[in-house]
Amino acid sequence: MSTTTETPKPAALAAPSAAPRARRPRPQVMTVTPVAAERVKALIDGRGKPTVGVRIGVRSKGCSGLSYTLEFADKQEPLDEVIDTQGIKLLIDAKASLFLIGTEMDYEEEKLKSGFVFKNPNEKGRCGCGESFHV
């Protein structure tokens, strides 16, 4: 006497066919103050050759480990994150994006120094001279 019991297969759940959810727009990696945007425009105008924008990156350097880099960009790289704002184009190096999320780029001019300042919420500390940071 052979008895086999078949286990009932679960009925396929009939999920309503929903349209794919629209992705929310990604926030910009960083923001730029109007003063910094004006300074970037002035630097590009004074360069004297065609420039796509300014590339911003991060590299290993300094006492704390990382340092911001800025350079003129003659062409846009395939993996660059592009920020088009206030009439300027910033190209964020793909390797730096993670370190720059939420950063504000400003330009400060004081009696003894002037330059771009990065206000980065991801920074855990800076070296004494202010040239490098760590996350």
- Whether 14 is covered by a domain: the verdict is no
Burial of 68 (0-12, 13-18, 19+ CB in 10 A): buried
- Whether 135 is covered by a domain: the verdict is no
Q: pLDDT digits over 11-56, tens only?
A: 555 556 667 787 777 667 889 999 999 999 999 999 888 899 999 9
Q: pLDDT digits over 54-110, tens only?
A: 999 888 766 657 788 889 999 998 888 898 988 899 999 888 888 888 889 999 988
φ/ψ of 59, rounded to 5, equals: -140, 160
- Which two tokens mark 81? 């994150």
pTM: 0.71
Alpha-carbon separation of residue 43 from 9, 40, 88 (angstroms): 70, 5, 11
- Whether 108 is covered by a domain: the verdict is yes
Residue 86 backbone class (left: φ over 0; alpha: ψ -120 to 50; beta: rest): left
Query: How many structural domains comprise the chain?
Result: 1
Select from 39, 67, 70 the least CA-distant residue to 54. Answer: 70
Give me the domain span that covers residue 38: 30-130
- Whether 46 is covered by a domain: the verdict is yes
Indicate which CATH number applies to the domain containing 89.
2.60.300.12
CA–CA distance, 6 with 52 (Å, rounded to integer)? 69
